[in-house]
Amino acid sequence: MRHTFICIGWIAVAFIALYLRVNNLGDNPVHFDEATGASILGQALSGEYPGFDPKHFHGPWLRESTILIARLRGENNWNSLSVETLRLGPAVAGCLLCLTPLLWIGTIRPMSALAAGALLATSPLAVYYSRIYIHESWLALFGMLSCATIYRFLKNPNQGISIFAGISIGLMFATKETFVVYILAWAIAGSLFLFFHTAEGVRPQFRDYLKPFISICFWCVLISAIFYTDYFRNPTAYIEAFRTFFIYETTAGHTKPFTYYFHLLLWPKQALGLIWTEGLVAILACITIPLSLRNKHQVGLIRFIAVAVVVQFLIYSFINYKTPWLMLLTWAHVCLWAGMLFQTWSHFSRIKQSLLSILFISSLGWQVQQSFEVTGNISNDARNPYAYAPSSKDLTNLPQWLENLSATAHIQPAAVVGSSFWPLPWYLRTIENLTYWSDIHPDFSKYAVVFVMPEHTAKADKLLLKSHQRLPRGLRENVAIMMYLRYDIWDKWTKKETL
Amino acid sequence: MKYLLTLLTLSALLFTACGDTSTSSESESAEESAPAANAIEPSTGTFRLTTQIPSELIEGTPQPIKVPNLEPEPKSVPVLMVPEGTVLLSAGKNVTGSDDFPIIGELDYITDGDKEAGEGYFVELMDGPQWVQIDLDKPFELNAIWIWHYHSQKRAYHDVIVQVSNDPSFETGVRTLFNNDYDNSAEQGKGSNKPYVESRFGKLIDAKGVTAQYLRLWSSGNTANDMNHYIEVEVYGHDLIGL
């Protein structure tokens, strides 16, 4: 009976995870970061190796995994790429992430794993950032694989587990350079685990760890090198991959206060008719600590996860550069931790079981409501706490109009002027003879179309208002761009209406 | 004692400063809707249409504006001459919309006469093409439509379309008074009117004496975000002659 319940539970978790992650996947406009990633992917699809820029690039895994999806869908270049193709890989990774608590079966009870899976499947943070073409859901998937294998390695170091650990950490590195944050957190949590193990009278033989540890390093280097070097065709790229830790550059506007992640995930916020928080999951996680004190095996595991979470949270909070999706893998740890509420369930009194059940179901229900909201009508609304500098939906109409316009008149040459114009290039893919400029050029008065970023509109007005119609368009939240369309084309287009 | 005096002086200065702000904005509004402007031109039988122009946003936290030089905003009240006998028809009239559950505010705000920019004065509708519809209770000869979408931030609304009809479902007899949906993304037909930047002076549209009972106003997001907003819509006209 219990076995059937667990099986049905996992089917439900998989279904909910899939629905929340792939339903209307292509609806939202392409985000700034998605468009830059898509541009790199477009280069790779055309057979051009995009290289590795240690200043601006993340790992190549996202690109490599999407190449496969794009080829399967018959999209073989930048122009033919679809939004769904971009987002499908992260969505699949997000679904698989919800199944990772299964890796802990044997260490934790099936009910605990199921509860963790349910919390992961419905977490609005996990749902939202599994629907965007960024590296994070892949990193979270490989991170949870690594965490499970590292814990097993700590308990029983052997060659088999070290291979799995090495491969999953290697994939983390191939996905994003921030994997080092988690390695550091697991190293501290693992050291404490071994320290307390020793204190409790279990004496681990450190030489037993040496060979498997070397094996982990070997597999990690091998797997990450395969992807960074483009299957060993560009060996220097691997050196660049390490240089990234010293010269990485970020764009302005991401500096946030120390409490940013606390506010994002835990502090209740009222917006759009809903109170937003995932704080109940954190409360469930904290409750597991006093409840597991009697069982030393539980204490060791919970201590390992809890220390890893606290270290990751602190590291990310101390770093000024903050984006909400950086919390995804950390939050996956918290969901796993909260699921352990069911570890000593049978020892609880009926009253305690009832109270905890109410708390768990409430937190699940609250999460489901938030997740439906973040994937629904308000998914692109900046007041939704997870929407980060959303692109304007106005952009999505642009390609179709440009196509209609080009049937009326020759809309070349075209130019984009200024910086931080992403995701505009994604929406201008169909325009041939499109060039990008850092400043206004006198020749623009002859151009058919000129897109101007806010910092240059005053200058553009002086040059173009006599020759071009000015059309304001939305780019991102609170960022407008100006489209200047040459009067002969505008007149031809608007006169066509009266035919 | 010295500190007490300083404190009292500072409080008095602060109080005076607050008082100054509201006084100046009130006088500005009054000036902009001065009765003198309503004088009838004897040769044409028309007069300059006026309304109460709202003040700049003076309450709440200012919105961050990251759209420098979007467009020089209008610096004066728009001018439109309307026939003698033209009156405000829309005050308190019933408003319906394509979005039955506004995110912020109520559809009634659109005809309640309040044109201030702050919270509590505007209604926010969902993203995408959305419309609001005003029922004037009976057909009138319409002379002007004055629209305020949102004016505490420089922004331009996309696909602003103003339609009138005597059919509440807008399936027949629809006339378009204004349409700047140049790319036809709202699918109401391509428009050739130009996009404009919102200001406290509102957008004044000449209705050219068209006869209609219903007005439908479309928009589809704006340059700052995807949402649709209305503070106030004023419809001016007069009774049908002979009816």
Task: Please provide residue A105's backbone torsions phi and psi, each rounded to the nearest 5 degrees.
Answer: -60, 135
Check CB contact under 8 Å for A470 and B221: no
pLDDT (0 to 100) of residue A183: 97
Average pLDDT over residues B21-48: 54
Q: Are residues B92 and B119 in the same domain?
A: yes
pLDDT in tens, A37-67: 999 999 999 988 888 888 878 999 999 999 9
Task: Please provide residue B206's backbone torsions phi and psi, each rounded to the nearest 5 degrees.
Answer: -80, 120
Q: Is residue B168 part of a domain?
A: yes
Average pLDDT over residues A240-256: 81
Q: Which of A380, A404, A496 sits opposite B127 (nearest CB)?
A: A380
Angle between helices A2-22 and A350-374 (to 10 degrees): 20
Measured between beta carbons, the chain A residues lying within 8 angstroms of B73 are none
Q: Are residues B94 and B159 in the same domain?
A: yes
- Residues shown for chain B: 243
The answer to whether A45 and A76 are in contact (CB under 8 A) is yes
Domain count, chain B: 2
Rounded to whole angstroms, how far apart are CA atoms B213 and B232?
18
Average pLDDT over residues A82-93: 98
Rounded to whole angstroms, how far apart are CA atoms B146 and B207?
10
Q: Are residues B5 and B55 in the same domain?
A: no
Query: B66 CA to chain A: closest CA distance, Å?
Result: 6
pLDDT (0 to 100) of residue A332: 98
Which residues, including other chains, have CB under 8 Å from residue A301's CB and lie 6 or more apart? A107, A108, A151, A340
Which run of H or E residues covers position A398?
helix A394-408
Looking at this predicted complex, what is its ipTM? 0.83
CB atoms within 10 A of CB A9: 17
Rounded to whole angstroms, how far apart are CA atoms A168 and A145?
6
The answer to whether A316 and A327 are in contact (CB under 8 A) is yes
Measured between beta carbons, the chain B residues lying within 8 angstroms of A387 are none
The first and second tokens of residue A152, run together, are 């097993």
Q: Is residue B243 part of a domain?
A: no
Asked if pLDDT for residue B1 goes beyond 90, the answer is no
Check CB contact under 8 Å for B70 and A480: yes
Q: Is the dihedral of CA A108, A113, A115, A117 positive or negative?
A: positive
**Kind of pairing between the strands at A434-437 and A414-417:** parallel
Q: Which residue has the tokens 């002859």?
A: A446
Q: Which residue has the tokens 């599994």?
A: A130
Rounded to whole angstroms, how far apart are CA atoms A393 and A396?
5
Q: Are residues B148 and B43 in the same domain?
A: yes
| Angle (nearest 5°) at CA A386 between A19 and A99 | 40
For the ranges A81-90, A268-277, A296-305, B54-63, which has the lowest average pLDDT? B54-63
Q: Are residues B91 and B127 in the same domain?
A: yes
The answer to whether A386 and A125 are in contact (CB under 8 A) is yes
Q: How remote is the C-alpha of A86 from its chain's centroid?
A: 13
Q: Are residues B186 and B118 in the same domain?
A: yes
Instruction: Tell me what percent of chain A is helix, strand and coil, each rounded to the nearest 5.
Output: 65, 10, 30
Q: Is residue B208 very low, low, confident or very high in pLDDT (cuts 50, 70, 90)? A: very high
Q: Which of A480, A482, A494 sits opposite B182 (nearest CB)?
A: A494
Q: Is the dihedral of CA B180, B175, B130, B87 positive or negative?
A: positive
pTM score, two decimals?
A: 0.87
Q: What is the CATH number of the domain that holds B53?
A: 2.60.120.260
Partner A contacted by B197 (CB < 8 A): yes
Asked if pLDDT for residue A439 goes beyond 90, the answer is yes
Q: Are residues B97 and B5 in the same domain?
A: no
The first and second tokens of residue B46, run together, are 């028309």
The answer to whether B214 and B179 are in contact (CB under 8 A) is no
For the ranges A384-388, A476-480, B92-96, B109-113, which has the lowest average pLDDT? A476-480
For the ranges A33-47, A446-460, B43-57, B131-145, which has the lowest average pLDDT? B43-57
pLDDT (0 to 100) of residue B30: 35
Check CB contact under 8 Å for B64 and A401: no
Partner A contacted by B165 (CB < 8 A): no
The answer to whether A214 and A166 are in contact (CB under 8 A) is no
Q: Are residues B136 and B46 in the same domain?
A: yes
DSSP, res B183: T
Q: Is residue B69 very low, low, confident or very high in pLDDT (cuts 50, 70, 90)? A: very low
3-class SS of residue A415: strand
pLDDT (0 to 100) of residue B56: 64
DSSP, res B225: -
Q: Which of B149, B183, B199, B220 to mutate to test binding with chain A, by most A CBs within 10 Å of its CB?
A: B183
DSSP, res B235: E
Q: Which of B127, B187, B194 to mutate to test binding with chain A, by most A CBs within 10 Å of its CB?
A: B127
Rounded to whole angstroms, how far apart are CA atoms A400 and A395?
10
- For residue A364, give the nearest of A341, A387, A388, A330 by alpha carbon: A341
Q: Are residues B74 and B19 in the same domain?
A: no
Measured between beta carbons, the chain A residues lying within 8 angstroms of B182 are 471, 493-494
Rounded to whole angstroms, how far apart are CA atoms B117 and B124?
12
Which run of H or E residues covers position A395?
helix A394-408
Q: Is residue B209 very low, low, confident or very high in pLDDT (cuts 50, 70, 90)? A: very high
Q: Are residues B83 and B155 in the same domain?
A: yes
Q: Is residue A270 very low, low, confident or very high in pLDDT (cuts 50, 70, 90)? A: very high
Measured between beta carbons, the chain B residues lying within 8 angstroms of A477 are 224-225
Measured between beta carbons, the chain A residues lying within 8 angstroms of B65 are 478
Q: How remote is the C-alpha of B99 from its chain's centroid?
A: 19
Q: Are residues B3 and B87 in the same domain?
A: no
Q: Is residue A274 very low, low, confident or very high in pLDDT (cuts 50, 70, 90)? A: very high
Q: Which of A272, A455, A478 sits opposite B103 (nearest CB)?
A: A272
- Residue-number span of the structural domain to which B14 is assigned: 1-32
**How big is the A-B interface in CB pairs under 8 Å?**
92
pLDDT (0 to 100) of residue A13: 97
Check CB contact under 8 Å for B224 and A471: no
Q: Are residues B63 and B105 in the same domain?
A: yes
Check CB contact under 8 Å for B224 and A480: yes
pLDDT in tens, A379-413: 999 999 999 999 999 999 999 999 999 998 999 89
Check CB contact under 8 Å for B155 and A469: no
Average pLDDT over residues A287-295: 83
